[in-house]
């Protein structure tokens, strides 16, 4: 039976997360049941991460054999990145993308075709996921994989929420393929901002929803035309 795009992407992420996280963590966990529980959570994170990349390939209408060829070229990512590379909150996706692009270049058969741009965007999505998950996994490791540590679960929920939102938006689109592709790009590209935009001492990324505060707007009376009020203006 021929593999689907979902099968190919899920296998890719399972293997990637196993090499980057599970293989590292298993050696430091002596209790079998706890070790198995940690591995399951990592695999669950990988499954959630796979959904956005699967949707991206489907939106671009890339056939499964070409998806398989592209992801086969990305297999070497795990060997070219250290745990420190992806767990550093000061690293921005563009920096890491330049690094992995040299070790996992686009397959030559896709050069000078539209698939080349699809490949680079897919590589960018993979890098974004690793930089989202890496710092949280590093903190979890420092806490000796405490069962009460919830961020790994929040990562899974956040990735699932992004995919669900894209699915809802896609149903409402008039020109579904074009609008979903464009929305996918905007959400993936601008869903997070560099803290350096707000505070110049760091390049760490934060979720925009964690910064947003609902404004509290105070009503003001109608001023007479031609009679501007003096004094301070009310602020939000």
pLDDT in tens, 122-135: 999 899 889 888 98
CB 138 within 8 Å of CB 87 = yes
Q: What is the mean pLDDT of residues 151-179?
A: 60
CB–CB of 89/204 below 8 Å?
A: yes
Q: How confident is the model at residue 173 (pLDDT cuts 50, 70, 90)?
A: very low
Burial 126-140 (b: 16+ CB within 10 A, else e): bbbbbbbbbbbbbeb
The predicted model gives 178-205 an average pLDDT of: 46
- Angle at the Cα of 49 (from 145 to 4), degrees rounded to 5? 135
Residue 236 CA to residue 228 CA, distance in Å, equals: 20
Q: Which residues pair with 192 in a beta bridge?
A: 207
Query: Are the C-beta atoms of 43 and 17 separated by less than 8 Å?
Result: yes
Mean pLDDT of the chain: 78
Q: How far apart are CA 227 and CA 222, in angstroms?
A: 11
Cα 89 to the chain's mean position, in Å?
A: 14
**For residue 13, pLDDT beyond 90:** yes
């Amino acid at each position: 039976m021929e593999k689907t795009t979902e099968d190919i992407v899920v296998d890719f992420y399972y293997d990637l997360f196993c090499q980057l996280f599970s293989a590292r963590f298993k050696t430091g966990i002596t209790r079998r049941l706890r070790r198995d529980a940690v591995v399951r959570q990592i695999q669950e994170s990988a499954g959630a991460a796979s959904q956005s990349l699967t949707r991206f390939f489907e939106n671009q209408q890339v056939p499964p054999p070409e998806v398989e060829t592209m992801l086969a070229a990305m297999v070497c990512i795990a060997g070219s990145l250290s745990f420190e590379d992806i767990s550093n909150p000061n690293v921005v996706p563009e920096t890491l993308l330049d690094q992995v692009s040299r070790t996992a270049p686009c397959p030559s058969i896709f050069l000078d075709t539209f698939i080349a741009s699809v490949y680079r965007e897919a590589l960018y999505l993979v890098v974004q996921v690793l930089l989202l998950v890496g710092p949280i996994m590093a903190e979890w490791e420092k806490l000796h994989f405490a069962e009460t540590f919830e961020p790994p679960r929040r990562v899974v929920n956040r990735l699932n929420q992004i995919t669900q939102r894209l699915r809802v938006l896609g149903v409402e689109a008039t020109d579904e393929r074009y609008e979903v592709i464009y929305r996918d790009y905007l959400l993936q590209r601008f869903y997070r901002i560099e803290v350096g935009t707000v505070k110049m001492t760091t390049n760490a990324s934060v979720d925009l929803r964690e910064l947003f505060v609902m404004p509290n707007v105070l009503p003001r009376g109608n001023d007479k035309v031609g009679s501007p009020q003096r004094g301070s203006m009310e602020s939000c």
